[in-house]
Chain A
Amino acid sequence: MAPTLPSGDQASDQDNWDNGRLAHKRQLLTEIVLRNRLTALVVGGDTTCRVLEQLLLRSYGVQTQGVDNGRDAIALIASGVKFNLIIIDMILSVLNGLEATRQIRDMGVHCKMLGVTACSGESERQAFLAAGVDVFIEKPLDPEHLVPILRELDGQ
């Protein structure tokens, strides 16, 4: 269903500002076409989040794989599969996101890593960055954060 906005007769200044922000966001959504084939690994313990993150990436043409725990992420990378981008959740089963990130970096993986978590407390941010992610964001992953990263990876 196409998103609808308040009618012009009833829109307040706040509505207009909100609509402008939404329009800008949608512009960000549509104004990227990847020139290169990019690949991404989504490491997320929560199925809903992981599915959405993968679908968002795929909507931009990024080929994605998903795993639901840190151990499987390590195993996949150790098998030789290369990714341009790894999106990793802090809360994971078997091997948590911080430890998985450290191990991935210790394996010599230098690709862009984006840490995601439901809470953007400063201590969590610092811990994730110290573990080796390049960018830290609070869930949900949205185009405003993702598109600039994809542009950078695509060399735009």
Chain B
Amino acid sequence: MERNPIRRQLAIMRQSLFDQGHVDEQFVQLEELQDDANPNFVEEVVTLYYRDSARIILNIEQALERKPFDFGKLDAYMHQFKGSSSSIGAKKVKAESTLFRECCKSGNGEGCMRSFQQLKKEYATLRKKFGAYFQLARQAGPVETASRPK
């Protein structure tokens, strides 16, 4: 149990990311890759994800403005987005990506629009939570972690 109040708060915040279903085990995988040589690795990867995925989100938005929908193209964009989201453990975002793809496969345009709106909400919510989490993590400072023999 953390005695340091900031670290305790950080641990609670971290646990809530899992408990609320925002992240899954893959996030633990990211943490395992963080070490003394890369003390901000998780934050850097999440930042990279949001930077790169913004382009895909924009592509999907633009594709949804063109009628009739090109479901093949929409599916391809979301396929990429889903892979990227799953790599950082973004559980709810990944789940919405799957729903969107199912709508694409069944040619359900309305479903795509609804699913995409929900996806953007989850994406934004997670971004906010990560922002608060990493801000606190920076205040807490680096922790000594065991690193895998290289």
Bound together, the chains give a CA A2 to CA B1 distance in angstroms of: 12
Question: Contact size class for A?
Answer: 20 to 34
Decide if the interface of chain B is mainly helix, strand, loop or mixed.
helix
Interface locus among A35-43, A70-78, A137-145: A137-145
B interface with A by C-beta (< 8 Å): 1, 10-11, 14-15, 25-26, 28-34, 41-42, 45, 48-49, 52-53, 76, 79-80, 82-84, 86-89, 97, 101, 137, 140, 143, 145-146, 148-150
Please state if B149 and A33 are interface contacts (CB–CB under 8 Å).
yes
Closest Cβ–Cβ distance, residue B38 to chain A (whole Å): 8
Out of A1, A7, A51, A61, name the residue touching B31 (CB < 8 Å): A1
A30 within 8 A of B: yes
Bound together, the chains give a CA A25 to CA B27 distance in angstroms of: 13
A interface with B by C-beta (< 8 Å): 1-4, 6-7, 22, 25-26, 29-30, 33, 45-49, 51-52, 55-56, 59-61, 89, 91, 116-119, 139-140, 142-143
In the complex, chain B residues whose CB is within 8 Å of the CB of A117? 79, 83
Bound together, the chains give a CA A91 to CA B101 distance in angstroms of: 15
With both beta carbons as reference points, the residue of chain B lying nearest to A50 in the complex is identified as B87
Bound together, the chains give a CA A6 to CA B18 distance in angstroms of: 11
Out of A1, A26, A46, A56, name the residue touching B80 (CB < 8 Å): A46
Bound together, the chains give a CA A104 to CA B97 distance in angstroms of: 31
In the complex, chain A residues whose CB is within 8 Å of the CB of B86? 118, 139-140
Please state if B148 and A7 are interface contacts (CB–CB under 8 Å).
no
Bound together, the chains give a CA A46 to CA B28 distance in angstroms of: 20
Provided the pairs A48-B49, A51-B45, A51-B48 are in contact, do residues A118 and B149 lie with their beta carbons within 8 angstroms?
no
Bound together, the chains give a CA A118 to CA B25 distance in angstroms of: 16
Closest Cβ–Cβ distance, residue B45 to chain A (whole Å): 7
Closest Cβ–Cβ distance, residue A34 to chain B (whole Å): 9
User: Which 3 pairs from chain A and chain B are nearest by CB?
Assistant: A118-B83, A118-B82, A140-B87
